[in-house]
Chain A
Amino acid sequence: MKDKIFRFLLFFAALIILLLTAGIIFALVSRSTEAFQEYGFWGFITNPEWDPRPATEEYGALSFIIGTLYTAFFALFLCIPFSLSVALFNGEYFKGKKISSFVRSIVDLLAGIPSIVYGLWGFYAIRPLVIDLGVNAQGFGIFLSSIVLAIMIIPYASSLSTEFISMVPNKLKEGAYSLGATQLEVIKNISLPTAGSGIVASYILALGRALGETMAVTMLIGNTDRIPKGLRDTGNTMASVIANQFGEADGLKLSSLIAIGLLLFVITAIINLVAKLVMKKVASI
């Protein structure tokens, strides 16, 4: 009897999650139809104009899509050397050692810091450095946001990569050592290729996290509704434009913001799906 009740409770809990997700999708789709009907799906995502003035009202998502991809991919690029070395440190060189669990918990701590704290840190500590570097006059923009984003996603990229690197079978490595390979050669020729797709999957997940990050980016990117011209320029991401403009929006603007939310949802879902597929491939090896 108890078993049955427990089963029912679990089933019920799982059902609620499914219903909630369906509800979120329904709300996003139903409230974004106005924008998609007005501009068409392709028209909306390929239009770089964002003009809220009633006389010339026109909304397109392109500048925010580009801003999002720009910051997320540059952050991913910046984070690779750090997260890869952390993963090798924990999963290969100091595997199972005390120092490794210490480093691991510090890196996990990074994941627990609220993003507004990262935003403040970027604003007060990193921005002056970016100004001194001469990136631009006020420091805000793609460059600053990407640096802070890179640090935010290091724990996501490194903890999974660590798992995959430490999962590389010992007999493979021992075989290489017995042939006289150095540790560096073992990492280069055995560990990284074997764990390869797992590492790729962890970076895809980290990318998904970077795409949706809102608060820290909103505080650092400059919030300009134009296609960023380069790393030095300011811009807006899909998440940050919603955070900035949702409060006072109504009518077509509100619908357009929700449409951007739906696009972000779809992009993140695809990214997660791809990462899952890649990981499945690893597991089957």
Chain B
Amino acid sequence: MRANEDKTVNYGAIGSGGGIRSLRDHSVDFGASDAFLNEEEIMTMNGEVIHIATCMGGVVMAYTLEGVDSLRLSGRLISDIYLGKIEKWNDPRIVIENPNIKLPDLDITPVYRSDGSGTTFNFSEYLSVVSPEWSRVMGKGKSLKWPAGIAAKGNPGVAGIVQQTEGAIGYIGSEYALTLRLPTAKLKNRAGNYVDATLETISAAANVRLPDNMRATITDSEDPNAYPISLFTWILVYKDQSYDNRTYEEAQDIVELLEYVISPDGQKVAAQINYAPLSEQALEKNRRLIEQINYGGLPITP
């Protein structure tokens, strides 16, 4: 499917919270988020909302350590670092995972997001899966209560501090880190392999059984090549497009946009900006979901 040059999409990068709020108020045609709506949030929307996965991303651990250009970490280590239980880079627990590297006797400065963020949600969701202690003490969410480290706003804020601070480590959206080519740690996945975040390893994380409504987290994937902190990013639209005097043509435009996003052309654009393409299984489920979008019960056909 080709891009339609006659139509313009206005996208406001106001954060997913703002996007969801605007969708609830019917002031936008669709919202987008890196975290799917939970049952409670779905209930507050003015109508049934469906989630269309548009592409995949990851959360990477960027760090700055002079002379260390390859670092291996596990979920447990990341959890201990952010809980303030590992404070030095040459802690034996890190050394065991990195036997061939000389790690300095230097304080670790964990950096996290000061603003609410889907990146924080996916990062903490992963740590909740792999670390019982994290699950108990921290939990998962778009913003948390942090016992250690310092905070900065947005991916650029975290990346800026990590790049400029010897001994810092921070979690950053993979699309941002891959574009900047920041040094990032290899993470130990469920199969025990250490993997870099690349478009291929992120896509591989979706090689699991996905639910029909596509509302799934895919962290700590079973696939042996998968990058462990991978995620879908979704567009949220109302299933019935006939609200607020909208026209049938407007509904057609939305469906056409969604079909373009999941078409090979659309997915190619995603890869150009370092988002990983969707697997065939995910694309198929997406198509089923888009078919359900209707106009007061009428099917929407081009």
Contact = CB atoms under 8 A, between A and B. Distances in A.
B167 to A, nearest CB: 6
Interface residues on A, range: 20 to 34
B213 interface: no
Contacts of A224: 146, 149-151
Contacts of B160: 123
Contacts of A140: 150, 161
Given A225-B145, A244-B114, A245-B143, A138 B17 contact: no
Contact of A138 (B109, B114, B117, B143): B109
Interface of B: 14-18, 21, 106-107, 109, 114-117, 139, 141-146, 149-153, 160-161, 164-165, 167-168
Nearest to B146: A224
Contacts, number: 76
5 contacts: A52-B116, A52-B145, A53-B139, A138-B150, A247-B17
Interface string A228-271: 00000010000000011101111000000000000000000000
B17 A248 contact: yes
A225 B151 CA distance: 9
A51 B144 CA distance: 7
A244 B167 contact: no
A138 B167 contact: yes
Contacts of B106: 137
Interface of A: 50-56, 123-124, 127, 137-140, 218, 222-225, 234, 243-245, 247-250
Contact of A248 (B107, B139, B142, B144): B142
Given A53-B143, A250-B21, 16 more contacts: A51-B145, A52-B116, A52-B144, A53-B139, A53-B145, A138-B107, A222-B150, A225-B145, A225-B146, A243-B153, A244-B115, A244-B151, A247-B115, A248-B115, A248-B116, A248-B117
A114 B38 CA distance: 42
